[in-house]
Amino acid sequence: MGRTVVLYNGVDLTADYVVSDLRRPLLPKEAMGATVPGMDGEVYTGSRLTPRMVTLTMYAIDANIALREAAARRLAAALDVQQPAPLSISIDGGLYLMAVPTSTGDAARFTQANSFQVQFKAFDPVFWGEQRTVTVPSGGSVTFDVDGTYPAEPVISAPAAANGSGGFWRVRLEDGSYLLATIPSGLSTAPVVADCAARTLKVNSINRMLVPAADWLVLTPGTHTLDMTGTGAATVTYRERWL
C-alpha cells in the first residue's frame, strides 16, 4: 500500500508532507427529536446529514529546519481559500468533497520534523464522483443507469428546443416528474438550459419560472428513463454522489 496523497484545490499537500491519523465520520447523520410534556425521552422528528469534518495530521520530515519552514509556508498558502474547494484523498478512489479548512492548530516542531493538524469542513457532506453525460434524442427517449449512493441533480441543455403539439417542450422522468419550457412565439427554436441543483431555468438565455406542475429532476441511484415532448436533442449532465 502506497502513501496517502491529499489534493486540495489542485495542490498536492503531500508533496512536502506525510499524512497520518486521518479521521472523519462514517456517516455524519443527526437524529432529531422533540420533547413532549409527560413523556419520557423524545419523539423522533426526523434526521439530516450534517457537515462532514475531516481531520488529518501532516508531518514534514527533514533535518533542514529552513526547508521545513518553507514547506509550512507553502501549506498555509494552499489552505488560504475563500470558498469551498475540492478535497481528494487517494484512498477514496477519485471521489472528493467540497471543503474549506477550519483550523490548522499550532505546529509541533521536533529535531527533524514539523507536524500540523489540519481540519476541513465539508458543508455539503456528500462526496462527488464521476461526471456522466447522456443524450435524450429529439422527440425520443433514453434509458440509462445512475451510479452512486445518493441522488444526483442534473443539468439539462437543449441548444435548439422546439415546442411539441401541446405548445411546450418537456423532458419527463419515468416517475412522472418533468421539466417544462415554452419556446416564445415568433421563434421556431430556442436554447433551453435547466440546472436542477441551482434551481434555474433559462429559455433563450432569459431566466424563467418553472411552471407549478413541473419540478426539478432528481436522479436517484438506479435505472432511469427520460422522454421528450417536442423536438431538440437534450444533453443531460450529472455527477455521481456518494455517502
Query: For the residues 13-41, what does the mean pLDDT come to?
Result: 91
CATH T-level assignment (fold) for domain 130-242: Jelly Rolls (2.60.120)
- Give the whole-angstrom CA distance, residue 72 versus residue 75: 5
- 8 Å CB contact between 180 and 169: yes
- 8 Å CB contact between 225 and 134: no
Positions of CATH 2.40.30.200 in the chain: 6-125
Positions of CATH 2.60.120.860 in the chain: 130-242
Query: For the residues 230-241, what does the mean pLDDT come to?
Result: 97
Which pLDDT band, with edges at 50, 70 and 90, does 196 fall under? very high
- 8 Å CB contact between 216 and 153: yes
- Give the whole-angstrom CA distance, residue 122 versus residue 99: 4
pLDDT one-digit tens code per residue, 95-154: 999 999 997 667 777 778 788 889 999 999 999 999 999 999 999 999 999 999 999 999
- 8 Å CB contact between 226 and 173: yes
Strand 200-203 relative to strand 141-146, pairing: unpaired
pLDDT at residue 37 in the model: 94
Give all strands (DSSP E) within the chain, no chain letters. 6-8, 11-12, 18-23, 29-34, 43-49, 52-61, 85-89, 96-103, 108-109, 113-122, 127-136, 141-146, 155-161, 169-173, 178-181, 190-195, 200-203, 206-207, 222-229, 234-242
Share of the chain above pLDDT 70, in %: 98
Give all strands (DSSP E) within 24-149, no chain letters. 29-34, 43-49, 52-61, 85-89, 96-103, 108-109, 113-122, 127-136, 141-146
pLDDT one-digit tens code per residue, 33-69: 999 999 999 999 999 999 999 999 888 887 788 888 8
Which pLDDT band, with edges at 50, 70 and 90, does 1 fall under? low
pLDDT at residue 191 in the model: 97
Q: Tell me the pLDDT of the chain averaged across its residues.
A: 92
Q: Give the residue carrying C-alpha cell 521536533.
A: 110
Q: Which CATH number fits domain 6-125: 3.90.1150.10, 2.40.160.10, 2.40.30.200, 3.90.330.10?
A: 2.40.30.200
- Give the whole-angstrom CA distance, residue 26 versus residue 120: 15
- CA dist list (Å): 142 to 18, 39, 195, 234: 47, 53, 19, 10
**3-state SS class at 187:** coil
Query: For the residues 171-195, what does the mean pLDDT come to?
Result: 95
- In a 13 Å sphere around the CA of 64, the CA atoms on its Cβ side amount to 5
pLDDT at residue 190 in the model: 96
- Give the whole-angstrom CA distance, residue 24 versus residue 52: 7
- Give the whole-angstrom CA distance, residue 196 versus residue 174: 17
